[in-house]
Structures are given as C-alpha cells and as structure tokens.
C-alpha cells in the first residue's frame, strides 16, 4: 500500500510539473500533461459546446466555433470533433483500446469524423459507464483517443481520467458543472510519433 502511495505521489508531482509547463507553452512546443476543464452540467441541445485546443491547452470561446481554432468539444457527455457536422476543420479521431504510454505513434489513416450530427466520431456512451449509485460518468479504462487536429497536420493522444460532478447547491438537485480531467500528449512539429 505504501508503495502505491509513493508512486501516486511521484506521479502527481511529475504531472503537476508537466501541467505547469504546458500552461505556459505556446504552440511551438510539445505538450504532455494532465488538464482539467469545466463543462456545463446541461444536456439540452441549446447548451453550447465547450471547445478545446490541444496546441496551447486552452478552452476556446464558443463564439469562435466556426473556425479551425479548436479540436474537440464537449456538451454534457457528447463529444464533437472539428469536422463536417462538427465544424469547418479537418479534425478526426481514432479510439484505441490500449494503454496511454503504449501508444507510440498515431496511425496515418483510419480517422473517424463527425460525418453527420447523428453519426459522430465519438459515439455518446462509448467512452463511459454510468454509475447509478454515485451518479457519475466514469471513463472506461484503456481507451486512448488519437486525434488529428483541426488543421489536419498535427497529432495528439488523449486519455480521459475522470469526470467529476461539481458541488450541488440546494435546492438544486444536480450540480451545474462537470469537471473533465484528461491526460494528453501533443506533437508541435506534426510528427505522428509520441
């Protein structure tokens, strides 16, 4: 047990170090670390998607949705990628059953796109299990998302670690925010090798 804790501590130190560097990084450098973003706890179609860009690890305003400035977006548990029905970009994704560290390179073909609004690259429900006791969406372990970014010329690998419910403030019964935490790695020079 002690050993696990020790490793846990080591890991978290390592990640926080990465995180620090990633937030200050600009698009010119590689990014590798853990990121948490907040997404509205709202499944209605009127709710705008929370958009994310890998190259500088930032959340992009939804007003900028008709651009190549973002790679994927989340509404509640629905993922979009920036292509076709999702947006004007060329972003695609491959969901691989693998261990994050074992994914050494991104495939050159086989990417799924948001072909239509009913046929998304990432199927809703494909990446989580819902725990009816704790009412949380738990990302399935061993699922690695390999992204081709919106500009079509960069690669990133991503793994969802957790989706946590924000605080519930009575009299509301549900939280207002979901916290998505994921680990990802982005290559700035366009190389498919991680």
Partner 1 sequence: MQKLVFYILFLLLANNCFAQIDSSKKSEKLMEEIVITSTRTETKLSNVAVPTKIISKKYIQQTGALKLQDILQDQTGLVIVNSNLSTSLNGYPNPFSQGIQMLGLDPAYTAVLIDGEPLVGRNAGILKLGRLATGNIKQIEIVKGPSSSLYGSEAMAGVINILTDLPLNENAQAQLHASSNNTFAQTLSYSNRQEKMGVQLFMNRYSTDGYDLDNTTYGKTIDPYRDWTMNVKLTQTISPKTKMLVSFRNFDSKQDNNYQIIWQTAPAIVKGYTKEKDNSLFTQLTNNTTKNSKLFFRIFYNNYDNNSFVNLENTETRFDETSFIQSILKPEIQLESNSLNRKYIAGIGTYFETIDASRYAGKQKLTTAYTFTQNEWYFLQKKLTLIAGARLDKRTDYSINLSPRIAIAFKPTNHWKFTTSAGYGFKAPDFRHMYLNFYNAQIGYSLIGANILSDELTRLQQSGELENGIDISPYLIKNILLPEKSFGTHLGAAYSSPNLNIEMGLFRNDINNLIDVYLLPFKKTSNRSIYSYHNTNRIYTQGAEFDFKYIVSKHISLALGYQYLEAKDKAVIEEINAGKLYRRDPITYKTSLVTKADYFGLNNRSRNTFNAKITLEDQKRGLLFLFRFAFRGKYAFTDVDGDNIADNDKEFVKSYTIANFTMSKKISNHLTTQVGVDNFLNYTNSLQMPNIAGKLFFINVNYSINHLINKN
Our CB check for partner 1 shows the closer of 36 and 191 to be 36
Our CB check for partner 1 shows the closer of 140 and 189 to be 140
- CB contact at 8 A, 148 and 154: yes
Rounded distance, CA 135 to CA 165, Å?
A: 9
- Min dist. Cβ of residue 188 to partner 1 (A): 25
Q: Which residues bind partner 1 (CB under 8 A)?
A: 4-5, 7-8, 11-12, 43-44, 76, 97, 99-100, 116, 118, 123-125, 128-135, 138-143, 159, 161-162, 170-173, 183
- Min dist. Cβ of residue 79 to partner 1 (A): 14
Q: Which residues contact 13 (CB under 8 A, 6 or more apart)?
A: none
- Min dist. Cβ of residue 39 to partner 1 (A): 15
**How much is the CA Rg of the chain, to the nearest whole Å?**
17
- List the beta bridge partners of residue 155: 148, 187
Our CB check for partner 1 shows the closer of 76 and 179 to be 76
Q: Which residues contact 169 (CB under 8 A, 6 or more apart)?
A: 176
Our CB check for partner 1 shows the closer of 71 and 159 to be 159
- Min dist. Cβ of residue 25 to partner 1 (A): 22
Read off the tokens for 40.
């509205």
């Amino acid at each position: 047990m002690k050993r696990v804790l020790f490793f846990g501590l080591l890991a978290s130190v390592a990640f926080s170090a990465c995180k620090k560097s990633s937030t200050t990084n600009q698009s010119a450098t590689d990014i590798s670390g853990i990121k948490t973003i907040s997404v509205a706890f709202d499944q209605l179609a009127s709710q705008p998607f929370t958009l994310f860009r890998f190259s500088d690890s930032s959340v992009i305003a939804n007003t900028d949705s008709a651009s190549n400035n973002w790679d994927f977006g989340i509404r509640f548990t629905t993922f979009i990628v920036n292509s076709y029905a999702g947006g004007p970009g060329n972003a695609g994704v491959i969901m691989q059953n693998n261990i994050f560290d074992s994914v050494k390179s991104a495939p050159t073909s086989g990417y799924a796109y948001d072909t239509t609004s009913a046929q998304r690259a990432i199927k809703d429900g494909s990446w989580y299990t819902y725990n009816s006791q704790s009412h949380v969406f738990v990302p399935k372990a061993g699922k690695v998302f390999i992204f081709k970014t919106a500009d079509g010329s960069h690669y990133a690998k991503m793994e969802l670690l957790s989706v946590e419910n924000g605080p519930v403030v009575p009299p509301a019964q549900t939280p207002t925010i979901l916290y998505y935490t994921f680990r990802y790695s982005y290559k700035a020079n366009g190389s498919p090798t991680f």
